[in-house]
Amino acid sequence: MTASRPDPAAELARLAAEIARHDALYHGQDAPEISDAEYDALKARYRALLGEHPELRPAEDPDAHVGAPPAEGFAKLRHAEPMLSLDNVFDAGAFEEWQARIRRFLGLAPDTQVAMVGEPKIDGLSINLTYRDGRFVHGATRGDGILGEDVTANLRTIADIPRKLGDDAPDLIEIRGEIFLTKTDFLALNAAQEAAGEKLFANPRNAAAGSLRQKDAAITASRPLKLFAYALGAASRRPAPTHAEWLDRLRAWGFSVNPLSRPLADAAAAAAFQAELADQRAGLAYDIDGVVYKVDALDLQARLGFVGRAPRWAIAWKFPAEQATTRINRITIQVGRTGALTPVAELEPVGVGGVLVSRATLHNEDEIARKDFRVGDTVIVQRAGDVIPQLVGVVAEKRPPGAEKFVFPDHCPVCGSHAVRAADEAVRRCTNGLSCPAQVQERLRHFASRAALDIEGLGEKTVVEFFQAGLLESLPDIFDLPTHEAEIAAREGWGAVSAANLSRAIRARRAAPLEKFIFALGIRRIGEANAKLLARHYGSLASWEQAMLAAREVGSDARLELGSIAGIGPAIAQELVDFFDEARNVAVLDALAARMHVQDAVRTEGGQLAGKILVFTGTLERMTRDEAGARAEAAGAKVAKSVSRKTDFVVVGAEAGSKAAKAAELGVRVLSEDDFLAMAGASGPA
Ligand code: IVH
């Protein structure tokens, strides 16, 4: 009996759909699920099968287009000349094949050598820059090769892109190149993302693409994107006779051109260059995934033209995927500064492309479940873009008997508290932000920061210093620091004056308004605005705490009340409940309350001014306009500048003018300053 082979038409359609899905993930969302090598293998399988059955080409042929259609949200720009892709080769034989094809196409003798330029293949995203009369007019991503996304505003924030070319520039010219991030900048960006609780980028390429494709150019400006220029698109006149001279032109116009680019006389020189760059790869500041070889003479390039989606005159010789197999010895869980639990595979150390790899991130529990990684499994390790080792998958045949499915912990391995996962997130987090050693430094910093309690002199550096010295372990310790004043004064870089100043600043913040206190706790999703809502709704620390403890019970009155506060959605309510569900947090909160005076807020619920629109006019006697405005807002009112039919009350001070008259005319109720104060409640905000 023969094993049944899958129906080739169905198999081709399946592969085409699979490739289309990965194209969309990679180009459209900057979030690939598989490695480049896996993608290349998928395409190779598709092409091989199509080679056997050319009549079965699927309607949605992945080879018919490149990239992905431009994303919604960006205007589309048509490239004056399509932006194409490159064919790949993986070994010297296929490379020589490419050269032979060129010779045959041009009718050259088999022993003629066609001069080339070799350039590192930068692993970033390609961009098309249009210049008219020597000035940068717009720029677009590749998109589907015909229409790209207009990212001009973002490109203008990149220093490597000249605004003006030299006087010798053609009237119209498209310049193409690769936008990328260095490996170091990528790691720094991810560290910042992690600290801010934002999503991490998988590799420098995704980080560069995500940074460029921002709706807000200010975000792009904050990312150190770089450009290497390497190709010519449409041009009203040919700017140079050879590619090497074209690169010189680009340099003269102020572009950065990869300094490793090199003219190569023949295939032997190319093979030597390939080996040289493979050696240098790990030490380069940016990721490269191969070398691009281009025919040097531009008139030959023009004669060679394109076949399908790729030029005949260029080829990408990719580096072999740097892979190795090894065993997962253990799976450990790291806890980040924001409490995120990240699983890490501890591997039997193995060399991958010249680097010893002994650990690899498993990202999150969904990833572990999807690929079913288990302790004892033999896995394929790959160095993606040279920076971060990735686990490609499990070698199923080598699974030891009895290897058990990995159960993701629901407790923090650092402090033992509950670790929970929000419904809309892949990440599980430790709920004990206040005293979990992995998170507490971040919380201490936040607590003392300007937007929270604003403790002068207790900035990030000092927090780290005191934490390491054992002076600060948890938030309440802050208020005990004055008892260690002599010890602090004796520390290097301190002295009696600074230590005394710090003590004074800390004592001054023992009294804090409830909303600042709630915000300072650093509960996820409780920013300044939500803290204010909670403070105004519950009024005092004691009633807030009591209500939150009661709200842990699903369906309780307290839970319903929490959900009924305008602006507090279910996700926010859940974060609060998770926080109060952890007894360690409540203990810290109580310890803080014992050391501080948390001032009551004016409750807005049912208050006479809640939701009302107020206008002030004339000179108030007991307070300034600003203070009156703050009191009105604290009581839940809105302050408007002019009187209209929507106005509920006009507060009239001495020498009131036309606004008082207007109020009378419209029949709006007029309040005296005393009336207003009585309605706003006696205890105003601090
Ligand atoms: S030339 C028509 N040169 O590789 C040829 N491309 O796989 C246009 N790439 O879309 C491309 N470094 O994003 C060229 N030195 C280089 C390159 C390079 C990286 C990228 C580019 C292109 C992709 C094709």
Between the CA atoms of 559, 563, 568 and 570, what dihedral angle is there, to the nearest 10 degrees?
Answer: 80
Q: With bands split at pLDDT 50, 70 and 90, how would you rate the model's confidence at 68?
A: low
Mean pLDDT value across residues 299-322: 90
Bridge pairing between strands 323-335 and 340-352: antiparallel
- 85 CA: nearest ligand 1 atom: 24
Q: How far apart are CA 80 and CA 66, in angstroms?
A: 16
Each residue of 625-657: pLDDT tens digit?
887 887 787 777 888 888 888 888 999 988 888
Q: With bands split at pLDDT 50, 70 and 90, how would you rate the model's confidence at 71?
A: low
Q: How far apart are CA 503 and CA 380, in angstroms?
A: 56
The active-site residue out of 121, 532, 612, 659 is 121
- 613-679 has the same fold as 513-599: no
CATH class, range 76-318: alpha beta
Each residue of 459-469: pLDDT tens digit?
989 998 999 99
Q: Where does residue 19 rank: exposed (0-12), middle (13-18), buried (19+ CB within 10 A)?
A: buried
Each residue of 105-160: pLDDT tens digit?
999 999 899 999 999 999 999 999 999 999 999 999 999 899 999 999 999 999 89
Estimate the crossing angle of helix 570-581 against helix 557-564, to 10 degrees: 140
CATH class, range 513-599: mainly alpha
Please give the helix or strand (H or E) that residue 25 lies within, else none. Answer: none
pLDDT at 685 over 60: no
Q: Is the CB of 378 under 6 A from ligand 1?
A: no
Q: What is the predicted pLDDT for the residue at 338?
A: 80
Ramachandran sector of residue 493 (left: φ over 0; alpha: ψ -120 to 50; beta: rest): left
Mean pLDDT value across residues 185-211: 85
Please give the helix or strand (H or E) that residue 361 lies within, else none. Answer: strand 355-361
Decide which of 3.40.50.1240, 1.10.1510.10, 3.40.50.300, 3.40.50.10190 is the CATH code for 613-679.
Answer: 3.40.50.10190
- For residue 294, give the DSSP letter: E
Q: How far apart are CA 589 and CA 649, in angstroms?
A: 40
* Average model confidence (pLDDT) across the chain: 89
Provide φ and ψ at 115, rounded to 5°. Answer: -70, 145
- Collapsing DSSP to helix, strand or coil, 328 comes out as strand
Q: How far apart are CA 345 and CA 332, in angstroms?
A: 6
Mean pLDDT value across residues 364-370: 92
Probe ligand 1: pick from 292, 295, 317, max atoms within 8 Å of CB?
292
Residue found under tokens 């499990």: 394
Closest CA to 226 of 166, 284, 185: 185
Asked if 184 and 168 touch (Cβ cutoff 8 Å), the reply is no
- Compute, in angstroms, the gap from residue 91 CA to the centroid of ligand 1: 18
Annotation marks residue 121 as catalytic: yes
Q: Which two tokens stand for residue 359?
A: 């650990």
Decide which of 3.40.50.150, 3.50.50.60, 3.30.70.890, 1.10.150.20 is the CATH code for 437-509.
Answer: 1.10.150.20
Q: How far apart are CA 43 and CA 420, in angstroms?
A: 40
Each residue of 394-409: pLDDT tens digit?
999 999 999 999 999 9
Q: In sequence order, what are the residues at sequence separation of 6 or more whose Cβ sits closer than 8 angstroms to the Cβ of residue 425?
A: none
Q: Per DSSP, what are the bridge partners of residue 151?
A: none
Each residue of 219-252: pLDDT tens digit?
898 999 999 999 999 999 999 999 999 999 999 9
Q: How far apart are CA 659 and CA 670, in angstroms?
A: 10
Each residue of 486-497: pLDDT tens digit?
999 999 999 999
| Top-confidence residue, 118 or 659 | 118
Q: What is the predicted pLDDT for the residue at 98?
A: 96
Give, in degrees to the nearest 5, the angle at Cα 142 between 140 and 143.
100
| Domain positions in the chain | 8-65+321-398, 76-318, 437-509, 513-599, 613-679
**HSE value, Cβ hemisphere, 13 Å, CA-based, for 149:** 24
Mean pLDDT value across residues 160-178: 94
pLDDT at 455 over 60: yes
Ramachandran sector of residue 437 (left: φ over 0; alpha: ψ -120 to 50; beta: rest): alpha
Each residue of 544-574: pLDDT tens digit?
999 999 999 999 999 988 987 777 888 899 9
Probe ligand 1: pick from 121, 261, 273, max atoms within 8 Å of CB?
121
Q: What is the predicted pLDDT for the residue at 3?
A: 44
pLDDT at 608 over 80: no
Q: With bands split at pLDDT 50, 70 and 90, how would you rate the model's confidence at 67?
A: low
- 123 CA: nearest ligand 1 atom: 19
Nearest CA to ligand 1 atom 18: 121
Helices and strands, number each (H, E), in the chain: 25, 26
The fold for domain 8-65+321-398 equals OB fold (Dihydrolipoamide Acetyltransferase, E2P) (2.40.50)
Residues in the chain, how many?
686
